[in-house]
Chain A
Amino acid sequence: AQKVTQAQTEISVVEKEDVTLDCVYETRDTTYYLFWYKQPPSGELVFLIRRNSFDEQNEISGRYSWNFQKSTSSFNFTITASQVVDSAVYFCALSVYNNNDMRFGAGTRLTVKP
């Protein structure tokens, strides 16, 4: 069975602080994809990144970076120098190859205060 756990329900930081959102996943499949989505107050889910299970290389995109570690089944997301506009709910998700059931975690609500 597939499962995604985001243990942090809410995080509050002050602008310019770095913040890491944790994601732990479970699957018995060897081929899978991991995702992060952002859901701002408008409600729309915004795709941030997809990573396949064979690519453990960490990725950096501007202020965003992702740390994928198969050994600990984690796919953590770090925002450097956070900004108020980063305030949103962030979801981690898991999809097994050729399976349409993308499983989402419960989400982490990030509040960045000015």
Chain B
Amino acid sequence: GAGVSQTPSNKVTEKGKYVELRCDPISGHTALYWYRQSLGQGPEFLIYFQGTGAADDSGLPNDRFFAVRPEGSVSTLKIQRTERGDSAVYLCASSPGQGAGGYTFGSGTRLTVV
């Protein structure tokens, strides 16, 4: 597509529930990144995919967070047993390759855990 698309744009869920956030990167971009942005802060790195594999998942806060990119295009960020502290905007970005910089970001998914 023309840009990075993230769905849903907003998600409200109850504490303890499971959620999935979707990212559709720019066509042909091999690198895909997930970031989390809390209110009043800059984005924080979560995970990086090169192709289908998670090349760097060092930013995932704990084992409740998991992400996949099975066909090297669309990615899904999965959060189990959500907690109120997970509330944030989850941003996805893509780029033509690792280290290229100048990532193109999506508009994000605002997750609210109540």
Contacts of B48 in A (CB 8 A): 100
From 57 to 114 in chain A, residues with beta carbon under 8 angstroms from any chain B beta carbon are 91, 93, 95, 97-98, 100-107
In the complex the two chains form, is B105's CB within 8 Å of A45's CB? yes
In the complex the two chains form, is A101's CB within 8 Å of B59's CB? yes
- Closest chain A residue to B104 by CB distance? A47
In the complex the two chains form, is A100's CB within 8 Å of B33's CB? yes
- Closest chain A residue to B107 by CB distance? A44
Please report the total number of B residues contacting A with Cβ < 8 Å: 26
- Closest chain B residue to A105 by CB distance? B42
- Closest chain A residue to B105 by CB distance? A45
Instruction: Tell me which of A42, A97, A100, A106 has the highest count of chain B C-beta atoms within 10 A of its own C-beta.
Output: A100
| Residues of chain B whose beta carbon lies under 8 Å from any beta carbon of chain A | 33, 40-45, 48, 55-56, 58-59, 89, 91, 93, 98-99, 101-108, 110
- Given A50-B102, A106-B40: A100 and B107 within 8 A (CB)? no
In the complex the two chains form, is B101's CB within 8 Å of A95's CB? yes
In the complex the two chains form, is B56's CB within 8 Å of A101's CB? yes
Measured CA separation A45–B33 after assembly (Å):
13
In the complex the two chains form, is B45's CB within 8 Å of A100's CB? yes
Measured CA separation A100–B100 after assembly (Å):
10
